[in-house]
Chains A and B, each alone.
Chain A
Amino acid sequence: MLLIATLAVASLIVFLVLAVLPGKPAEVILGTQATPGAVRELTDKLGLDKPIWRQYVDWVGGLLSGRLGTSYISGQPIASELGSALEVTGPLVGLGLLVGIVIAVPLGTFSAVRSRRASGVVASVLNQIGIAVPSFVLGILLIIVAGVELHLLPTGGFTGWSDPASALRSLVLPGVALGVVEGAIVGRYVRTAVLDVLSSDYLRTARAKGLTQGRALVRHGLRNVAVPVLTVLGLELAGLVVGAVVVENVFTLPGMGTLLLQSVENRDLIVVEDIVLLVAAVVLVVNFGVDVLYHSLDPRIAREL
Chain B
Amino acid sequence: MTFLPVQLDAITGTEPAPDEEVAGELSLWYRWRHSPSAIVGSLISAAVIVIAIVSLVWTPYNPLAINMAATFARPSAQHLFGTDQYGRDVLSRLMSGTDVTLYAGVVSVLAAGAIGIPAGLYAAQRGGVPGQLVLRLADLVYAFPALLVAVVLATDFGGSTLTVMGAVALAFVPVFARVTRSGALGVLSLEYVSAARACGVSRMRILRRHVLPNIAPLLITQMTVLLSVAVLADAALTYLGLGAPPPAASWGLMLEEAQRYMGTDPLLSVWPAVTIALCVLGFNLLGDGLRDVFDPRRHDRS
Residues of A within 8 A of B (CB): 2, 6, 9-10, 13-14, 17-18, 20-22, 128-129, 131-134, 136-137, 140-141, 143-144, 148-149, 191-192, 195-196, 199, 238-239, 242, 245-246, 249-250, 260-261, 264, 267, 269, 272, 276, 279-281, 283-284, 287
Please determine whether B145 and A137 come into contact, CB atoms closer than 8 angstroms.
no
- A148-B262, A192-B302, A272-B151 known; A134 vs B140 contact (CB < 8 Å): no
- CA A62 to CA B233, docked complex, whole Å: 33
Please determine whether A144 and B154 come into contact, CB atoms closer than 8 angstroms.
no
B243-263 at interface with A (beta carbon < 8 Å): 255, 259, 262-263
- CA A280 to CA B152, docked complex, whole Å: 12
User: Looking at the complex, which of B93-101, B115-123, B268-276 is the stretch in contact with chain A?
Assistant: B268-276
Contact with A along B272-301 (1 / 0, CB 8 A): 010011101100110010000000000001
- CA A262 to CA B172, docked complex, whole Å: 26
Q: Which residues of B contact A143 (CB under 8 A)?
A: 259, 262
Q: Which residues of B contact A276 (CB under 8 A)?
A: 144, 148, 151-152
Please list 16 pairs of residues, one from A and one from B, whose beta carbons are closer than 8 Å in the complex, sorted by A's number.
A14-B152, A129-B277, A132-B228, A132-B281, A132-B284, A134-B235, A134-B236, A141-B269, A141-B273, A143-B262, A144-B269, A148-B262, A250-B259, A261-B151, A264-B151, A264-B155
Please determine whether A283 and B145 come into contact, CB atoms closer than 8 angstroms.
yes
Please determine whether B281 and A128 come into contact, CB atoms closer than 8 angstroms.
yes
List of 6 A-B pairs having minimum Cβ-Cβ separation, nearest first: A132-B281, A132-B280, A280-B143, A283-B143, A133-B277, A137-B273
Please determine whether A196 and B154 come into contact, CB atoms closer than 8 angstroms.
no
- CA A250 to CA B302, docked complex, whole Å: 35
B102-152 at interface with A (beta carbon < 8 Å): 136, 139-140, 142-145, 147-148, 151-152
> Which residue of A is nearest B41, CB measured?
A128
Q: Which residues of B contact A249 (CB under 8 A)?
A: 239-240
Please determine whether B276 and A134 come into contact, CB atoms closer than 8 angstroms.
yes
Please determine whether A199 and B301 come into contact, CB atoms closer than 8 angstroms.
yes
Residues of B within 8 A of A (CB): 136, 139-140, 142-145, 147-148, 151-152, 154-157, 228, 232, 235-236, 239-242, 255, 259, 262-263, 266, 269-270, 273, 276-278, 280-281, 284-285, 288, 301-302
Task: For the complex formed, measure the closest distance between the CB of B107 and the CB atoms of chain A, giving whole angstroms.
Answer: 20
- CA A21 to CA B157, docked complex, whole Å: 8
Please determine whether A137 and B255 come into contact, CB atoms closer than 8 angstroms.
yes
Please determine whether B284 and A128 come into contact, CB atoms closer than 8 angstroms.
yes
Q: Which residues of B contact A129 (CB under 8 A)?
A: 277, 281
Please determine whether B262 and A287 come into contact, CB atoms closer than 8 angstroms.
no
Q: Which residues of A contact B285 (CB under 8 A)?
A: 128
Q: Which residues of B contact A9 (CB under 8 A)?
A: 140
- CA A236 to CA B255, docked complex, whole Å: 25
- A128-B285, A148-B266 known; A21 vs B302 contact (CB < 8 Å): no
Q: Which residues of B contact A13 (CB under 8 A)?
A: 140
Please determine whether A192 and B156 come into contact, CB atoms closer than 8 angstroms.
no
- CA A297 to CA B232, docked complex, whole Å: 33
Q: Which residues of B contact A250 (CB under 8 A)?
A: 259
> Which residue of A is nearest B233, CB measured?
A134
- A18-B155, A141-B273, A199-B301 known; A238 vs B145 contact (CB < 8 Å): yes
